[in-house]
Amino acid sequence: MKGSTMASAASYLSDAFLQRLVADIDDETVTAIILHGSYARGDAHPPYSDIDIVRITRETPERPQQKQFVWYENSLLNLSSRPLSIYREWLRIPQEAIFRVSTIRDAHILLDKEGTFRAFQDEVSHWTWDPLQADADVYASKILVELSEIILRTLGAIQRNDTTMLVERICLHILPAVMEAVGVQGGILAKGDHYLQQVQEVLGLQSNWTRYYMEAAGVFPCSPFIRQRGIAAIRLYQETVFRLMEHIQPEHQDTINTLLTIIDHALPKKVP
C-alpha cells in the first residue's frame, strides 16, 4: 500500500488532528507513522490517555531508537522512532513478544509510504508462539532462580520487621518478577493495559496464585500489615515455582529447591 491512510476509526481522534500530527512529525527518514495503544484499540480515556505514535524510520547500520513525551495540542504524545527491524527482533524474544504482538496487530497505520508496515502487520497476523516456548521456559526459570536472593532477604526482613526493605522487595522485585515469569512461560499475550488481570484470569481468579498476589499487594483486607504482605509475597513465589516446576532448568533446580526448604523452616505452616 502506498500513500497515507488516516485512522478514522481511532476513537476520539479526528482525521483533521491526525493529518496535522502526521504532517508535523514526518520527514525524509520516515517510512511509516503508526498509532498504537489505547487510541488504536478504541479504549482510550481522554484527557487521561496519552497518544502512542511510532515513526518507522529507514534502516541504517546504527538503527537508532528514540522516545520522547511532548504535549501536542493539549494531548500528551508518546512519540517513538525506530526501524522495522527492531519489531522483527522483538518477535523472536519471548519477554518482548508477549507485549508487542497485540500492539502490532491492533496498530492503525497513519502513513505508509512504501507499504512495508502493512505487509509486516499481515505477517504478524499469522505469527505463532510455539517457536518461542523453549526460550520462554528458560527465561521464566532464570527469573525464579535470580529471585532466590530477593526471597532470602525478604525472609530476613520479615524476621527483623524491616518495613522499608519489605516494601521495596515486594513492590519493586517480587510482584513484577513473578507476573513476568508466569506470563512469559505461559505465552500470555498482552491485550490492552490490564496485563495483571489477564494473567490472573488465565491462572484463575480464585487460585492461590491470585490470592497471594493480591494479598502481597495489600489489596485484600486480611493483609493490612506489611509483615503479612511479606509472607504473602513469599507464598506467591512458592506458588509460582510449583506452577512452573516442570519448566525449571536443571542448573536452577538445586538453588530453588534449597530455597523452598529454607522457606518451609522459616515461615509458619500454610493454612489450607
pLDDT in the model for residue 7: 40
> pLDDT tens digits, residue range 194-221?
999 999 999 999 999 999 999 999 886 5
Q: Considering the entire predicted model, what is its pTM? A: 0.88
| pLDDT category of residue 12 using cuts at 50, 70 and 90 | confident
Averaged confidence pLDDT in the chain: 91
Binned at pLDDT 50, 70 and 90, residue 96 comes out as very high
Instruction: List, in sequence order, the alpha helices (H) in the chain.
Output: 15-25, 37-41, 84-90, 94-106, 116-124, 133-160, 163-168, 175-185, 195-203, 208-216, 226-244, 250-266
pLDDT at residue 8 in the model: 42
pLDDT value of residue 269: 72
